[in-house]
A and B are shown apart, each in its own frame.
Chain A
């Protein structure tokens, strides 16, 4: 009905400023840019508020004397000195954390075995994949409760099986024992995360072109040789990724440890993250906890860097692709 020539709204909406130029907000480009930044703003605000500012604040706090009811005072390296020279627990807990991180390859090796098996053309492979992966997305707090029950000294399944097999005579209180508590927690943690390793490795395996194996077979390579010469080198980025997941797992294991042992006995199962939590939120030593957080983050970055170098540096390229 309306004449098409008069119904184009765009030119009418453009208001010209006195100088004759189109003002920024009224121009098409200006509106585009405004919209782009408006769209980015909420996400950027959340990451600023919960990643960037806290990271910087942690560093500042670690050089201060500060508690919720006292004004901040410059402390220099006081907290770092306390951490490195006067806090015996810190070294034990640092060692626990490193042990926890470097136990990741055990889980990754197991996961690689499972990934190779479910990557074959057998019937029901999807069911196996689901079963192995199923422990990953469940609530870690519940996983902790299940495992502390499995480890129970008197009626726990693990002690029952060990006794039935004649390996031990009487139940071991795994989680109350200084020698067994940390390995026990690590096993529970590997049980939960192994499915995720498997999925990462499976994705890596499936991206290897099958003609490489065919060519190797024609050249007379044994399966072991093609595994060592083709599979492992091409899986390097995936293995590196698993290792980073394993390192990050030493942070997410907070839930597991909080429920299973609370860091005990003594500090036998305390990781830096659980120690940081109790130092900050039960002892209210926020400043000291901030210094340990900085140490924990540096350890994480260092190990991720080493893993990247071991992976031949290619993994960094994969990550940057996005």
Chain B
């Protein structure tokens, strides 16, 4: 294989390739200078606090919003000019349930099948109902479905046209753990068939089920890579502190917050996570507390959540 061919192949394997995306609403940048690449067949987790620009980014990728600056391609189509083509090959699941509440499960799916111009919308709807375990609920009005079933119906709707790329915007918000697990199994099954999935989420356990993750806060992409890479890249020193009484932990929280070297203090049940980027400064600050017998200090690897809370704090500092 010659070199240009290899380059061509690697370009084909990049499903989302955008550079410098910026989107402003009323002069306020919601997404700033965002660049990302997503490889074919990966599950790409998109993380960040509320209002960080995740939904806006997803909408720019599927042609629902026009970026103010930056350019890029989605499935090889220009996100500015080829939105009609993108819409044919991308399945988008909105954050809020956006199918017709007054249509039944079957009617919703048949409608979508007809819009995508499927040859046999009825058969496609039947197949989707069977695949998603909605059999027996075909004639139920969408409005009457519980959150978990609505989410399943929405997944069925956005995968109905056999898209090459799925954009899922917080698909599991407000769904119980069992339904979430089933949902993720389905996502992995789809990815195994070669589908690329970009999924935004708040849940750390979901982030850990992604092949790659990106963290966005206040419009900036702060970190990306595999979970291990992101954790390693944070250079956080983390201690888990436990104490006999919760009053003692509360007091420790107040005392440590804002001290040199302490970037994050966060309670986790009966323990406290204390983390900082500057290991030396952190050690110096906590040394007096470690000397006493009141607290038990344990050095630990940072969790993904530690990393994100710390990233978010850093981003807010930069933002203000």
Binding between chains A and B: no
Chain B residues near A (Cβ < 8 Å): none
Chain A residues near B (Cβ < 8 Å): none
